[in-house]
């Protein structure tokens, strides 16, 4: 337990102190959401209609932005080798790192999303479900991203490859998450979409650390 | 040539696109297979000779 | 005699050298007969007019595009468990072929959709799933290209094939949830009620067999190329040292 907390606090301190990794994702999220009205036009009912999808896609891109640093620095300076030798299983390490990534990028987005929802004229009934769906869905984004980050860790200029590998994995989460918010804004039953979203997240949390740890071991062999 | 009616262009587009893609795939595979085979033969001949 | 004997590259090469001409001949024969029969000698369908002729390439290409990924999944699994190099190379060889067939299915579907549905592209579940499949193929091939060490590349792409399979299947059903779609039901099914009528059935089976043998021939040829390329690399390394 001590080791878990130690690694978690190390990850958080690194993320918060190294050039504002957390703030950067949030600023990117803000930028993307702000650009949408410029592209679509300042039509309130149109913006209200695309608000759920826009917020979800912006969150997904913001999450992608900081993924390539998840294992890269530790892999290059040898920290990862030492951590892999420790009694903690590599799967656990991956889970902690992905969780720290969520705390520093996913969680701020969950908090900022309703404020940006106002600017997009999101329907009143959808705010709660926007927050809930993002809170439930974004952990899956971080954990799925961990697979992509682990696969591309040793590759020079792996950033674009990482996006190509990770984005298709985000499709189910995006569909169910955005549908949650859309259903809520249209006054329909939210539960089917929400239950599927939660299902995908739980499945992801359970299985991705195994795949990502396997990929990391292959890199370190 | 059968009478394709008003859908002629559609059908011919689909068939020609397919033929182009599949033939390109076959040609690329065969060319690379020949090239690699020749390289390997040269390399082995040099080692044994 | 077990199937694992062909995990030996030399045996694999000897076997494929022998059967490849036969498979190629079968592919050409089935495709020629099936396509000519389908194109020239089948009637127009009641509600599709002459566009029904596209079925002879669309359905086989789509079927094999999915099954090619299935082959890559199984081959990757075998590599991860038993570490036979031939298996990893089969997976690598199948990817570009599968991607081409996915493209063929998408393009023929789009040209068919224009007169039938009134649009080239419709965000229909099946079409969308194929677009997703195309992206999975691209990512898989890009990962192979990005890693220099052959064994590591085989390992990592195998992990990607596992993860990709799971998420391709989840996406397939997620997309269903997202949009009900326009696509026709199954064209080929063991349930007689469902599939297309007999006039189209036999030539369709022939082109399906033709595409299958074509796929098999291409995969065997490309696997052989990969084995030789691997051997060249090993020999060059020896010469340097």
Please give the distance of CA A115 from its chain centroid, rounded to a whole number.
19
**Residue C142 within a domain:** yes
Classify residue C7: in a domain, yes or no. Answer: no
Distance CA A98, CA B42 (A): 50
Chain A interface, Cβ < 8 Å to C: 147, 151-152, 154-155, 158, 161, 164-165, 167-169, 171-172, 175-176, 179, 192-193, 196, 200, 207-208, 211, 214-215, 218-219, 221
pLDDT at C197: 67
On average, the pLDDT of chain B sits at: 87
Nearest to residue C91, comparing CAs of C72, C70, C69, C67? C72
Partner B contacted by C70 (CB < 8 A)? no
Asked whether residue C83 is assigned to any structural domain, the reply reads yes
- What does the radius of gyration of chain B's CA atoms come to, in whole angstroms? 20
Q: State which residue of chain C sits closest to A220, comparing Cα positions.
A: C152
Give the model confidence (pLDDT) of A53-111 as tens digits.
999 999 999 998 888 888 988 898 888 999 888 888 999 999 999 999 999 989 999 99
Q: Which residues in chain C are contacts of A192 at CB distance < 8 A?
A: 177
Please state, in angstroms and rounded to a whole number, the distance separating the CA atoms of residues A209 and A86.
Answer: 17
Total count of domains within chain C: 1
What is the structure's pLDDT at B26? 95
* Residue of C31, C43, C53, C99 best to disrupt the B interface, most CBs of B under 10 A: C53
Domain ranges, residue C154: 19-240
Measured between beta carbons, the chain B residues lying within 8 angstroms of C229 are 36
Q: Is C130 a member of any domain?
A: yes
In our burial notation (b when 16+ CB lie closer than 10 A, e otherwise), range C43-68 reads ebbeebbbbbbbbbbbbbbbbbbbeb
Instruction: Return d(Cα B7, Cα B29) in angstroms, integer.
Output: 33
Residue for token digits 């026709």? C184
Predicted TM-score of the model (pTM): 0.91
Residue A123's pLDDT is what? 87
Task: State which residues of chain C have pLDDT below 70.
Answer: 1, 45-47, 180-198, 241
Q: What is the pLDDT of residue C148?
A: 86
Determine, for residues B17 and C104 on separate chains, whether the beta-carbon distance falls below 8 Å.
yes
pLDDT at C185: 62
Is residue C145 a part of any domain in this protein?
yes
| Per-residue burial over C127-156, b = 16 or more CB atoms within 10 Å of its CB, e = otherwise | bbbbebbbbbbbbbbbbbebbeebeebbbb
Is C191 inside any structural domain? yes
pLDDT in tens, chain A (221 residues): 688 898 899 888 888 877 656 678 888 899 999 899 999 888 888 998 899 999 999 999 999 888 888 898 889 888 899 988 888 899 999 999 999 999 998 999 999 999 999 888 888 888 999 999 999 999 999 999 999 999 999 888 788 899 999 999 999 999 999 999 999 988 888 899 999 999 999 999 999 999 999 999 999 88
Query: Contact, C31 vs C210, CB < 8 A?
Result: yes
Chains A and B touch (3+ CB pairs under 8 A): no
Q: Answer yes or no: is C1 within a domain.
A: no
Q: List, run by run, the mean pLDDT of 10-residue segments along chain B (49 residues).
A: 72 90 95 94 85
Q: Is residue C10 part of a domain?
A: no
């Amino acid at each position: 337990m001590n080791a878990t907390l130690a690694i978690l606090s190390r990850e958080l301190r690194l993320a918060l102190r190294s050039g504002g990794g957390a703030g950067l994702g949030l600023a990117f999220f803000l930028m993307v959401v702000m650009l949408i009205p410029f592209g679509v036009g300042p039509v309130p009912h149109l913006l209200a209609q695309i608000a759920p999808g826009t917020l979800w896609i912006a969150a997904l891109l913001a999450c992608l932005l900081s993924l390539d640093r998840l294992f890269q620095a530790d892999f290059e300076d040898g920290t990862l080798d030492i951590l892999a030798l420790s009694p903690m299983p590599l799967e656990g390490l991956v889970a902690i790192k992905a969780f720290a990534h969520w705390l520093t990028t996913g969680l701020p987005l969950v908090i900022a999303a309703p404020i940006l929802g106002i600017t997009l004229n999101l329907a009143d009934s959808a705010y709660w479900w926007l927050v809930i769906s993002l809170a439930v869905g974004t952990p899956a984004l971080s954990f799925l991203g961990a697979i992509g980050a682990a696969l591309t860790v040793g590759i020079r200029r792996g950033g674009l490859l990482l996006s190509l590998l990770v984005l298709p994995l985000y499709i189910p989460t995006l569909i169910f998450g955005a549908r949650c918010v859309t259903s809520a804004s249209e006054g329909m039953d939210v539960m089917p979409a929400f239950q599927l979203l939660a299902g995908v997240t739980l499945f992801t949390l359970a299985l991705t650390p195994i795949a990502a740890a396997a990929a990391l071991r292959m890199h370190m062999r | 040539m059968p009478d394709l009616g008003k859908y002629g262009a559609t059908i011919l587009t689909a068939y020609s696109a397919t033929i182009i893609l599949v033939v390109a795939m076959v040609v690329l595979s065969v060319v690379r297979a020949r090239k690699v085979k020749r390289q390997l033969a040269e390399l082995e001949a040099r080692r044994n000779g | 005699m077990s199937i694992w004997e062909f995990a030996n590259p030399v045996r694999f090469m000897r076997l494929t050298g022998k059967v490849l001409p036969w498979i190629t001949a079968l592919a050409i024969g089935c495709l020629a007969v099936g396509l000519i029969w389908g194109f020239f000698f089948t009637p127009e369908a009641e509600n599709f007019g002459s566009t029904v002729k596209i079925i002879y390439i669309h359905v086989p290409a789509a079927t094999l595009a999915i099954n090619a990924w299935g082959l890559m999944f199984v081959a990757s699994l075998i590599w991860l468990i038993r570490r036979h190099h031939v298996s990893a190379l089969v997976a690598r060889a199948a990817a570009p072929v599968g991607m081409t067939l996915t493209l063929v299915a998408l393009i023929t579907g789009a040209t068919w959709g224009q007169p039938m549905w009134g649009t080239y592209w419709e965000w229909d579940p099946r079409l969308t799933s194929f677009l997703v499949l195309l992206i999975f193929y691209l990512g898989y091939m890009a990962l192979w290209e990005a890693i220099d060490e052959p064994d590591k590349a085989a390992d990592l792409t195998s992990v990607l094939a596992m993860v990709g399979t799971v998420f391709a299947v989840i996406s397939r059903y997620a997309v269903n949830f997202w949009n009900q779609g326009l696509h026709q039901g199954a064209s080929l099914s063991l349930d007689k009620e469902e599939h297309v009528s007999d006039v189209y059935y036999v030539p369709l089976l022939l082109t399906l067999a033709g595409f299958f043998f074509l796929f098999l021939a291409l995969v065997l040829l490309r696997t052989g190329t990969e084995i030789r390329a691997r051997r060249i690399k090993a020999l060059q390394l020896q010469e340097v040292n």
